[in-house]
Structure 1
Amino acid sequence: MSSETTHIHAAGAEHEEHESMTKGKIWYVFFILLGITCVEFFIALWLAPHFQIASHWVNPAYIILTLFKAYFIVAYFMHLKFEKVGLALAIIIPILFIIGLILVLTNESHYWIDLRV
């Protein structure tokens, strides 16, 4: 009887883990993502061409908005927000190291141009 109770509690815990993602929350996150995408299109198609905004201002804005979209996708649609802290850190920390490696390699890449004659 103890194994049946454990099985029932395990199934209930699995159901509770993803129960907080309701249809209302899905639509809420959808409209946030839609709003961020509309802002990106507004910057790209109207603001930047009409006001001649330099790319060193526009590109960081795109990167920041894209990181916000990535956060919402990973947190809600991939259910990372509802996972335990250890699993989230096991996913996030390697990604941070990869981003750091990309930044270091990007910084060092201009030396290749200087070496060619």
Structure 2
Amino acid sequence: MANNTHHNDGHAGTENVPAQTGVIWRTFIILSVITAFEFTLAFFMKAGGLRTSIFVGMTLVKAFYIVGEFMHLKHEVKSLIWAITIPVLFIVWLLVALLTEGGSIFQLR
């Protein structure tokens, strides 16, 4: 007779891992609150540079949160996080600089 070292409780190969629904709901609620705040600003705040800056800032916060949660970047080593974050910040800075300086072509000298 063969020595069976595995414990067989009638669930051979059907091990269920409990879902992390708490993390999913927390992420959903955080992103929903930020989005609701953005919609509130869109309806009650007049258009201008301040509103646009707030939208860009909140969009970046949501983007970094999504990357951290769903792409699991927040669980990586810090050097990888900085290697991804710093170039993104330089690209954002470049876009802001290009948009700011690009508008000067319409100014008459």
Q: TM-score, normalised by structure 1?
A: 0.65
Number of residues of Structure 1 aligned to a counterpart in Structure 2: 91
Question: Which residue of 1 is the match for residue 85 of structure 2?
Answer: 92
CA distance in 1, matches of 2:101, 2:49: 20
Partner SS state of residue 64, structure 1 = helix
- Cα offset, 1:94, TM superposition: 1.1
Percent identity of equivalent pairs: 40
CA distance in 1, matches of 2:105, 2:96: 16
- Cα offset, 1:34, TM superposition: 0.7
Considering fraction of residues, name the structure with more helix: 1
Q: TM-score, normalised by structure 2?
A: 0.69
In the alignment, structure 2 segments of 5+ residues that lack a partner are 1-18
Q: Which moved more, 1:26-35 or 1:65-74?
A: 65-74
- Cα offset, 1:78, TM superposition: 1.2
Q: Which moved more, 1:21-30 or 1:36-45?
A: 21-30
In the alignment, structure 1 segments of 5+ residues that lack a partner are 1-20
Match of 2:23 among 9, 16, 25: 25
CA distance in 2, matches of 1:110, 1:60: 17
Moved over 4 A (4+): none
